[in-house]
Amino acid sequence: MSAKAEDEGNAYELLGVAAEATDGEIKTAYRQRSLKVHPDRNRGNPDAAAKFHELNQAYELLLDPLRRMALDARLRTAAAKKARFQQYDNKRKRMIEELEEREAAFKRAKTAERAQAQEEERVKDEGRRMMAERAKKAQEEEEEREREEERRRKELEPPPLGELDTTVRVKYALAAHPDLTTPIALAGFLSERFGDMDSGSIVLTMKPPKKAPHKPPKHAVALVPFRRIGDAHAAVCAAGVESRGMGGIEVTWMGKDGGEPLILSWLRRMGKLGPQGAEGTAQSEATPGSAPATSTTESVLPQHSAPVSGTYSSFPSTFPDIATPLNGTAPAGGLDYAGMTMMRLRQAERERLEREILEQEANES
C-alpha cells in the first residue's frame, strides 16, 4: 500500500473488519470484497482496477504484522488526539467561543461602518445633485426672466422709421381731378387736407394707355413724401372719401403689397391707435350726404396734439414728428429736412420707384 494510503486510508475500513479481527477473518473479508471489485467482474467500471489494487494493498498490510502494528499505532494516536480535544474543559471552550464571537462582532462592526460610510457618501452625493439641479433651475428661470424682460422691453420700444414710411402712393383718374397734373398742384391739394410734405420730391407720372398711346393719359400715379407719418396715415385713411374731396383717389403705403409701416402695427398693439378695420369702416360709411369723415375717424383713432387746419391726423400726441430727429438734435452738417429728403429720394431710390410705377401702369393697361 502506498504511503498516502497508509497515512490517509484505513485498511480495516476497506476490508470491512474491526481492528481486533484475526487473520482468518481478514482473509474471509478479502475474498468476499475481491469478488465485488475484481476487474473481470466489473468490465464496465473504469475504477474497478484501482479499487481492486487498493483492496490488495489493504489485505497485504493487515497480514503483515509490522505494518499492521504501525497502522494500529497511528489509529490509536489519532483516536487519543480526538479524545483529548473532546475532553477540553468548559473554560477553554468558552474562551474559544468568546474569541470567535469577538471576531464575528468585529467583522459585523466593520461591515456596519462601511455601510454607514457608503450611506453618508450617498446622501452627500444626493445633496450635491439636488443643489446642482436647484442652481441650474434657478439659472434657467433667471435667463427666462431676462428673455421675457428683453421681449417686453422690445415690445415697448417703437420700431425705427423706414425711409419710405412717410411716403404714400397716390393714384387717381385725371377726368375726376383735371387740375392735379403737376407736383405743385398735387402738393397743394394734399397739404391743405393732411399736412406738410416735401413738394420738391413728389414723383408724378402720367402715361397714356398702352393699347392707345396716341390718346391722352387717363390716370396719374404719384409718390408723395409727407413730413410726418401721422399726416401720411391720415391721407391713407381718407382715400376715396367724397366728403374730404378724395373721391376716386387711391392712397396706399409704399411698403410691400401696400403694407403699412411697422410703427402703425406697434401703435395698435400698444393701444394707441384704433384697429385697422375701423379705418376702412369709417371710409366706407362716408357719403356725399353724410357728416364729414373727420369726426368719424377722430372718434376711432387718437388725435395729434396740434393738427393742421382741416386735417384729421390719427397719431398720438406723444409720437415724435418725422421732421424732428428722435434725440432732439439738428441733422449733422446743417442739412435741413428738405435737403435730407431730396438726397434720399432723388437718388437711386427715385429711379427704382419710377420703374415700379411704369411697370404697374403697364400691367394695369
Residue 333 CA: distances (Å) to CA of 325, 327, 342, 353? 14, 16, 15, 28
Per-residue pLDDT tens for 257-308? 778 888 888 888 887 776 665 554 444 444 343 333 333 333 333 333 333 3
Task: Note whether 57 and 7 are within 8 A (CB).
Answer: no
Q: CA separation (Å) from 55 to 52, 72, 173?
A: 5, 18, 138
- For helices 23-37 and 48-63, what crossing angle results, to 10°? 170
Cell of 82: 480526538
SS3 content of the chain, % helix, strand, coil (to 5): 60, 5, 35
Lowest mean pLDDT among 114-118, 189-193, 219-223, 267-271: 267-271
Cell of 25: 477473518
CB atoms < 10 A from the CB of 154, how many?
Answer: 9
Burial class (CB in 10 A: 0-12, 13-18, 19+), 4: exposed
Contacts of 292 (CB under 8 A, 6+ apart): 243, 244, 286
> What single-letter DSSP state applies at residue 195?
-
Tens of pLDDT, residue by residue over 75-114, are 899 888 888 777 776 677 788 889 999 999 999 999 999 9
Q: What is the DSSP string of 346-365?
A: SSHHHHHHHHHHHHHHHHH-
Cα 116-118-123 angle, rounded to 5 deg: 95
For the entire predicted model, the pTM comes to: 0.45
In whole angstroms, what is the distance from residue 156 CA to residue 65 CA? 121
The owner of cell 487498493 is 54
- Residue 325: pLDDT band (50, 70, 90) is very low
Pick 360 or 168 by higher pLDDT. 168
Q: Which domains, ranges and CATH numbers included, belong to the chain?
A: 3-86 (1.10.287.110), 167-364 (no CATH)
